[in-house]
Amino acid sequence: MINSQIPVNRSIVYVISDSVGETAELVVKAAISQFDEDKTMIQRIPYVGDIGTVDEVIALAKENHGMIAFTVVLPEVKTHLVEQAKLHNIPSHDILSPMVAMMEKKLQCPPKNESGLIHMLDEDYFKKVEAIEFAVKYDDGRDPRGILRADVVLVGVSRTSKTPLSQYLAHKRLKVANVPLVPEVEPPEELFSINSDKVIGLTISPVKLNGIRTERLKALGLKEEANYAKIQRIEDELVYSAGVMKRIGCEVIDVSTKAVEETANLIFQIVQRKEKE
């Protein structure tokens, strides 16, 4: 419903868009700020996809001596709007087209002429942020409830790259929880109640893990002789984790010779494959 009541002594700018119209409104507000803002008001008309609505706005703009600013990419609607505004001597400004035309010339390819694409990008961005926040919240098994909400659950012994993998996959919009497997700690029961297709086990060679853990101890200023980095302890942990993964029935990836990016891409491919099965 378009408001036709305009306060006395105020000009109005009708902001028309075939999407939400936020972009056009922000530009108009920036322009208005250069003048006496009390003399001008804005009315946004979003999701305009037909010439009937355009005609209604044109009639109001003519009646109220208003102006029109628009970000309309649908060719037939934009053409009709431009023609009618010119016919009725209504000041109008196409906010989007000059920029699109410049880019079309520079990139040597035609625009998509699809409305709402910027909000599709925004939605994609927020999905990524949500996935990153999820990975942080449910890192290192700190809250088993995350297992039930995750797209992917990574399990493995300490230093098998669970945390960096979770963050990397979050940038691919996957919600990832990770759970460390330690012989002295019973795995959360949620691991055995979810679909095993959602779980990825990470394993590694004892020698490789020994080197990683030894370097980790050095970085922390601790003695290399700590039980954490001993081969026997590592082998015991790996045998235990293999048993847990077998109970879950999950797919297992050996990360001994793989970079984080390589492992993450492999996990992403596994997820996509299982979604199609």
Cβ distance 166 to 154 under 8 Å? yes
Q: Is 163 annotated as a binding residue?
A: yes
Q: Is 159 annotated as a binding residue?
A: yes
Give the H/E segment covering residue 29.
helix 22-32
Taking CA atoms, 124 is separated from 18, 119, 128, 263, in Å, by 20, 8, 6, 23
| Mean pLDDT in consecutive groups of 10 residues from the start of the chain, 277 residues | 60 89 87 85 90 93 93 89 95 87 82 60 74 93 94 97 95 95 96 96 97 92 88 97 98 96 95 87
User: Which pair of structure tokens corresponds to residue 77?
Assistant: 């609607």
Domains delineated in the chain: 11-115 (3.40.50.1370), 119-276 (3.40.50)
Give the H/E segment covering residue 147.
helix 145-149
Give the H/E segment covering residue 20.
none
Angle at 72 between CA 70 and CA 74, to 5 degrees: 160
Q: What is the pLDDT of residue 3?
A: 57
- Cα gap 94→68, rounded to integer Å: 9
Q: Is 53 annotated as a binding residue?
A: no
Q: What is the pLDDT of residue 208?
A: 96
Amino acid at 261: E
Q: What is the pLDDT of residue 99?
A: 79
- Cα gap 180→174, rounded to integer Å: 19
Q: What is the pLDDT of residue 258?
A: 95
Q: Is 173 annotated as a binding residue?
A: no
Cβ distance 70 to 20 under 8 Å? no
Q: Is 161 annotated as a binding residue?
A: yes
Neighbours of 226 (CB within 10 A): 14
Q: Is 116 annotated as a binding residue?
A: no
Instruction: For the full predicted model, state whether its pTM sits above 0.75.
Output: no
Q: What b-and-e string marks burial along 84-93, b requiring 16 or more CB atoms within 10 Å of the CB? A: bbeeeebebb
